[in-house]
Amino acid sequence: MIKIFRNIRKSLLMEGKTSKYLKYAIGEIVLVMIGILLALQVNNWNENRKEQKKEQVYLERLQENLSSDIKQLDLNIEFYKKVFDYGNLALSYAEGDTIKSKSNWEVLVSFFQASQIWPLIPTSSTYDELKSSGELSLIQSIDLRNNLSYYHGGGLDRYNHTVGIKPPYRKMVRGLIPTKIQNYMWENCHATKNDSQILKACDPYINEKVSKNELDKLVQNTQLLEELRYYMSGIKVGMSTIVEQRKLCQRMLDDIKKAQHN
């Protein structure tokens, strides 16, 4: 093609057809410019397709991460509801309320179970990769990008400063309940299944009189009760944070589904 254009130019010059040559030269320049523009357009189209494919891969990975998180959030919510109930039962007993339906052993178990924690660690591998590689902009949805940033940033910080803390009460109560009783509670009142913690009722290890003696030691420790109140307050506030994180997680999953169908 280039050889043909060269021969045409040469022929026009030899024939002295300057005006025709100029018109031809302008036309050739226009054709070259059109060719360059088309090449750029095709290149941009190819690059856009590559980025779209890359975005879809990231969206699929984010979907897997968030689907895993939402299951853990549901379990976390149920877990802390139980811990909160145990803690409030222990405080009700300590503050002189009548606990008709519970034995001394059950109240003692409640003091122990109220010390349980279950740190929530979001699956952040895909988000971390997007950030570190500078490819977060591949996610076209601005709402999804902003929600991901908050979910792994401010939302997680709120969790870690409320329900996600390691309470001093945990150390204190475990330093007061005798080892043999605690070991029995671990083996019979607590279980783990996969990544889940299960807090459950268990048969008494000691009789009601001995249970009452152990409860008296705990109730007389004012600092212990103060720390338990503080921890229950943290759970009360933190529960709303877990619920909000769960809602945000579901919202992002919905956004990903929309993006995958566009």
* Helix, strand, coil shares, percent, the chain, to 5: 75, 5, 20
Count of domains for the chain = 1
d(CA 92, CA 247): 32
Q: Which residue has the higher pLDDT, 33 or 113?
A: 113
> Is residue 233, in this structure, part of any structural domain at all?
yes
Which residues, including other chains, have CB under 8 Å from residue 40's CB and lie 6 or more apart? none
Query: Is 172 inside a domain boundary?
Result: yes
Asked if residue 175 is part of any domain, the answer here is yes
For helices 125-132 and 18-94, angle between their N-to-C axes, nearest 10 degrees: 140
Range of the domain at 153: 68-261
Q: Residue 19: its pLDDT value, please?
A: 59
Among 117-121, 168-172, 258-262, the range of highest mean pLDDT: 168-172
What pLDDT does 113 receive? 98
Burial class for 173, CB neighbours closer than 10 Å (0-12, 13-18, 19+): buried
Is residue 93, in this structure, part of any structural domain at all?
yes
More confident: 158 or 113: 113
197 three-class SS: strand
Tell me, yes or no, whether 29 lies in a domain.
Answer: no
Res 193 pLDDT > 90: no
Residue 38 inside a domain? The answer is no
Q: How confident is the model at residue 38 (pLDDT cuts 50, 70, 90)?
A: low
Who contacts 225 (Cβ-Cβ below 8 Å, separation ≥6)? Answer: 91, 94, 219
Answer yes or no: are the C-beta atoms of 22 and 86 closer than 8 Å.
no
Q: In the predicted model, is pLDDT for residue 21 greater than 60?
A: no
pTM assigned to the model: 0.79
**Is 26 part of a structural domain of the chain?**
no
> For the chain, what is the mean pLDDT?
86
- Residue for token pair 């929530």: 120
Q: Is residue 41 part of a domain?
A: no
- Residue 188 has a pLDDT of 97
pLDDT in tens, 248-259: 999 999 999 988
